[in-house]
Structure 1
Amino acid sequence: MSAPAGKAFVRFGPNAIPLKQMFLISKLSFAFVNLKPVRPGHVLIATRRDVARFNDLTSEEVSDLLVQGQRVSKVIERVYKASSLTLAIQDGAAAGQTVPHVHLHVIPRHMGDFASNDDIYSKLEGADNRVATSHVDNEERTPRSAEDMAAEAELLRKEIGDWNEAEVV
């Protein structure tokens, strides 16, 4: 199940997400691997429509985002042998949202993966950035290579099992 040959990317706010880094596409959402994951397996699910704030989504977009979030969560938990998950939507700049496009973080968790469980939230700030920011955390985490991201997306596409090229428009 490789990425479709037609369109090369999907917009995520001001950023272009290459199809090679995506692993799920639905009518209203898409999921992709993270440039600077907080934990291995940290992925994002975004709305197809470029909308900055959660309250500006239609009820259908909210439903699809959460249904796909549940679907992706099951795969991420199994593949990364997680005992739990952190699911987060940072809604607006004051909440730590660095890309003005509604998206859900899915982060596999294991007992003791952070000294204090709430440390995840400080690590999350800027975790989805595709553009340079001054946040220290972003500078500490090295961006992954396009090859590594494509390999992870390919693995997750196989696990999801129904990559639909027709949904890419």
Structure 2
Amino acid sequence: MDEPVVSLEHGCPFCHIAKTFPTYNPTVPPHASHPSISPASTEPQPAAFVILSTPIVVAFLDILPLSRGHVLLCPRKHRQKLTEVSAEESAQLGYWLRILSAAISKATGVHDWNVVQNNGAAAAQVVPHCHFHIIPRPELREQGRWSSQFTMFGRGQRAELDDDEAVEVAAKIRTAVAEVLKDESSQPNL
């Protein structure tokens, strides 16, 4: 299946998502039915299923996931490549990559994953807005050996995101983010 060509005729789709969805406290995520996270808010562009929305970063399900729970994390401000991200954005991206990785693992039950970040068209960056992929990899180990379907760095079969499943998965991951943050806040500082 070929990658979709992202039309930038109306601007960056990730900037559109960042502008459309207000920030919320990740320790108290909105319910799946709350209008502030309605996937239809991004029309006429594809529905967006928000996982995290802070003043600095936004995360949402990939519309062509490699696996269930495939999430994209990006800065709210338009930054085409990682080298254009500010120091504050970089720190926030790093912090949330770790939290989201734990939350996705908790929500999906998949404990192996890839974190992938591409810079420029030659590096397979489809949307020219800096973003990280967090990709659960349930197929990596099959009965104790490497799966014949193993794919690396975002390559492999991709199918369109199922909206009904996406609502459920996004809600589970938002809840898991809140749980991970709560667990962390109860840990003693070293």
Letter in 1 for 2:148: A
3-state DSSP class of the match of 1:120?
coil
Contact 1:45 1:104 in 2 (8 A): yes
CA separation of 1:142 and 1:6: change in aligned 2, threshold 3 A: closer
Q: Which residue of 2 aligns with 1:5?
A: 35
Q: Which residue of 1 aligns with 2:135?
A: 107
Contact 1:45 1:105 in 2 (8 A): yes
3-state DSSP class of the match of 1:69?
helix
Matched, 1:94 2:127: no
TM-score by length of 1: 0.71
Q: Which residue of 2 aligns with 1:133?
A: none
Most deviating of 31-40 and 144-153:
144-153
Q: Which residue of 2 aligns with 1:148?
A: 165
- Cα separation, 1, equivalents of 2:98 and 2:47: 22
- Cα separation, 2, equivalents of 1:57 and 1:17: 26
| Count of residues in Structure 1 that have an aligned counterpart in Structure 2 | 140
Matched, 1:25 2:57: no
Over the aligned positions, Cα root-mean-square deviation in angstroms equals: 2.5
- Cα separation, 1, equivalents of 2:52 and 2:111: 23
| Alpha-carbon shift at residue 25 of structure 1 (Å) | 1.2
Mind listing any 5+ residue stretches in structure 2 that lack a counterpart?
1-29, 180-190
Contact 2:112 2:136 in 1 (8 A): yes
Q: Which residue of 2 aligns with 1:167?
A: none
2:88 to 53, 60, 66: 60
Q: Please identify the structure whose Cα radius of gyration is greater.
A: 2
Q: Which residue of 2 aligns with 1:71?
A: 99
Letter in 2 for 1:112: R
| Alpha-carbon shift at residue 148 of structure 1 (Å) | 2.3
Q: Which residue of 2 aligns with 1:43?
A: 71
3-state DSSP class of the match of 1:98?
coil
CA separation of 1:5 and 1:150: change in aligned 2, threshold 3 A: same
The percentage of counterpart residues that share the same residue type is 22
Q: Which residue of 2 aligns with 1:130?
A: none
Letter in 1 for 2:127: V
User: Which has the bigger relative contact order, CA under 8 A and spacing at least 6?
Assistant: 1
Most deviating of 78-87 and 93-102:
78-87
Contact 1:34 1:149 in 2 (8 A): no
CA displacement 1:25-50 (0-9 Å, x = unmatched): 12211111121211222111111111
